[in-house]
Amino acid sequence: MSCMRGGEGISSRRLGFLALAFAVLLATVTGAQVGNSEATRGADVRTDRPLARIGSHVMRVRPLTLEPTRPRVALGEYHDTWSYSPDGSSIAFGISAPPPGPGSRIGIRVANTSDLETEADLQTGVYAAALAWLEPQRIVALLGVGGTLPFPPPPYEGTVITIDPEAGEVHQEAGLPFGDSEFHCDAAEAPGVALLVLANSRLFTVGTDSAAETVELPSEFEDCGQVVVAPDNETAFAIAKREDVVAEVDLSSRELTVHDLPEEPGTVEALAAGPNTLVLARRDQRGRPLGVETVDLDEGSRRTIDRKAGEARIAAGTALAFDGARREGNRGIGLRGYSLDGERSFTVLRGNRVSQVLVHGHFAYAMRREGLAVVDVVDGVIESRSDERPPLSTELLNRPTTP
């Protein structure tokens, strides 16, 4: 009996030890799983180095600091337009540079996205003001205005070309009747579909053959406006500069639908969040915040989601609202995330005045006086902080997603 009780005692202690060991092991494994989950969540931002333009150079940047790395490609006189090749292996930039020898001015520089080597300098005679790389051998470019000032009297005409990036040969050239405006108001790329050019009260859609189709817009667009493309690349929206009018254009049929929205003060910057949803950031004439709102064009309704914000971005289906560059005072609203139906999902950096936000995948890079904060917009958490802020000229060159 004694031996049996002793044996049972030893067995119980062993079981207790094994249970404790198992609990420790389970906690370790669980902790490792949690750690791995967090690492997986941040894997893309920690390992994927975004392609960025800083000033007149293009380079990869470190994902948690946006610190520049090498190699780099120089652009020289950059004209604020770029477009990826259909397979993403190359990227074209609108520039203005003298040719290395006799010839016309270089208007497009093409670089490889892996090693950032210059693949081609395309001579177009003048800078490229807007680009859309629609097919492997066809880039559509809106050329800038050349010549000397003053301009001749109207009517004015813009020029679009289709150029082969390998051969450097212009396939087609066409004119866009700008009318009384010397310059276009805005341009956007519908990847694989068309280059969109807004000028005066006309929206031009230019395909791979450089043939331009014209959509006449309401008179509210005489003071210009903005054009954005829905994520499905099937619809374009033109937003009047000072009027609450949205012109919706079906990019297949070129059918026009005009939406008159309830009038609100200020000017707007628009983002296309879906095939029928816009996010509008509203500011007064001095650039001070007047709020961020969502617009459902099917229902003809608008909803203010943040009355204190002055700018917005969209990342991973989340609308990001923040102060913007013109916010007065030292304190701000931080960075706030909203679902597209207006429900707030997170707030980070409370009390910080965020002047600029860049996005890459489901990460937002919030720039503030205190430095840079990298935010996972899916989980609503801060991935990292840095005391250093990237230069104001930093632009992340995100490849557009295609349906």
Which residues of the chain register pLDDT less than 70? 1-47, 147-149, 327-328, 401-403
Distances (CA, A) of 392 to 38, 62, 171, 260: 30, 16, 38, 36
Q: What's 137's domain CATH number?
A: 2.130.10.10
In a domain, 394, yes or no: yes
Q: Domain residues for 378? A: 261-403
Return d(Cα 210, Cα 221) in angstroms, integer: 24
Domain boundary among 223, 248, 270: 223
pLDDT at 9 (0 to 100) = 37
Say if residue 217 is in the same domain as residue 291: no
pLDDT at 40 (0 to 100) = 37
Mean residue pLDDT of the chain comes to 86
Say if residue 214 is in the same domain as residue 320: no
Return d(Cα 147, Cα 130) in angstroms, integer: 18
In a domain, 342, yes or no: yes
In a domain, 336, yes or no: yes
Domain boundary among 170, 201, 223: 223
Say if residue 168 is in the same domain as residue 314: no
Total domain count, the chain: 2
Say if residue 335 is in the same domain as residue 387: yes
In a domain, 93, yes or no: yes
3-state per-residue secondary structure call for the chain: CHHHHHHHHHHHHHHHHHHHHHHHHHHHHHHHHHHHHHHHHCHHHHHCCCEEEECCEEEEECCCCCCEEEEEEECCEEEEEEEECCCCCEEEEEEEECCCCCCCCEEEEEEECCCCCEEEEEECCCCEEEEEEEECCEEEEEECCCCCCCCCCCCEEEEEEEECCCCCCEEEEEEEEEECCCCCCEEEEECCCEEEEEECCEEEEECCCCCEEEEECCHHHHHCEEEEECCCCCEEEEEECCCCEEEEEECCCCCEEEEECCCCCCEEEEEEEECCEEEEEEECCCCCEEEEEEEECCCCEEEEEECCCCEEEEECCEEEEECCCCCCCCCECCEEEECCCCCEEEEECCECCEEEEEEECCEEEEEECCEEEEEECCCCEEEEEECCCCCCCCEECCCCCCC
Domain boundary among 171, 203, 223: 223
In a domain, 249, yes or no: no
Say if residue 73 is in the same domain as residue 198: yes
Q: Among residues 307, 291, 255, 296, which one has the least CA distance to residue 273?
A: 296
pLDDT at 402 (0 to 100) = 58
Say if residue 103 is in the same domain as residue 219: yes
Q: Which residues contact 149 (CB under 8 A, 6 or more apart)?
A: none
Q: Among residues 336, 330, 319, which one has the least CA distance to residue 353?
A: 330
pLDDT at 102 (0 to 100) = 85
In a domain, 16, yes or no: no
pLDDT at 286 (0 to 100) = 83
In a domain, 171, yes or no: yes
